[in-house]
Amino acid sequence: MLRKQCNSGCNGGYLREAKGTVFQGWWHTVNGTVKNTELVQHDIAILELAKPVRFTNQVHTICLAENEPASTVTNATVAGWGSTEAFGTTFFPQLLLPATVPLMKLPQCKLALMGMGKLLNEQSVCAGGTMKDACQGDSGGPLMVTENSFNSRTSRYNKIGIVSWGLGCAQPNIPGIYSSTRHHLPWIQQVTRKDVCRPVSHNPSN
């Protein structure tokens, strides 16, 4: 699962052959400029891989959050192989890098983005506004909270969003925008015909 505009040419990780891509909704742009702000939505896509992924202790599925994070949850984790510099020389790391970002309520987020706040709706998740943020090359990456944030004793991650867009990177008081996976759960389940969270079963060794 990734953002719609990152189904090819994104950075980092391992290359795997995709069998197909399923899009949800659309982005309406002309020469990179949004022409109808009402159509800036559903920035999400699902890839079907040509071959199964071999699960290990380090590689396994992630759960999709079915509910809003509890009111006590103030931070989330974003991860990716994107640029570590907002301006100047672009450097893409060789290792997956995580960053802790504060969650921001939608009304506050709209105010922070000023004129761009009109692009936000119930499909949007806001996080950031500090010196840590997602950046170029992180698009399509996961925004996660730990399962114990949802009153569980385990520390498994739940995915709540997908890196979508932002105004620069790591700008003070300017959050990054993520597509809500919870909002798109019915569509995700319809396409994948999978549960939102399945137990991990490691593949047997050959």
- The pLDDT, as a whole number, for residue 74 is 93
Task: Tell me the C-alpha distance between 95 and 79, whole Å.
Answer: 10
Could you tell me the pLDDT band of residue 88, with boundaries at 50, 70 and 90? low
Condensed to tens digits (0 to 9), the pLDDT of residues 132-177 reads 999 988 999 999 998 654 444 556 789 999 999 999 899 999 999 9
The model's pTM is 0.79
pLDDT at 92 over 70: yes
pLDDT at 202 over 80: no
Could you tell me the pLDDT band of residue 17, with boundaries at 50, 70 and 90? low
CA angle 158, 161, 162 (to 5 degrees): 125
Lowest mean pLDDT among 20-29, 60-69, 133-142: 20-29
Residue where the block lists tokens 């890098």: 97
Of 19 and 169, the structure prediction assigns the larger pLDDT to 169
- The pLDDT, as a whole number, for residue 164 is 93
Element (H, E) at 187: helix 185-192
Task: Tell me the C-alpha distance between 195 and 174, whole Å.
Answer: 34
Q: Pull the structure tokens for residue 127.
A: 């996080």
Task: Tell me the C-alpha distance between 183 and 68, whole Å.
Answer: 10
- The pLDDT, as a whole number, for residue 8 is 46
Could you tell me the pLDDT band of residue 52, with boundaries at 50, 70 and 90? confident
Domains contained in the chain, CATH given? 4-192 (2.40.10.10)
Could you tell me the pLDDT band of residue 199, with boundaries at 50, 70 and 90? low
pLDDT at 86 over 80: no
Asked if residue 46 lies in contact with residue 21, where contact means CB atoms within 8 angstroms, the answer is yes
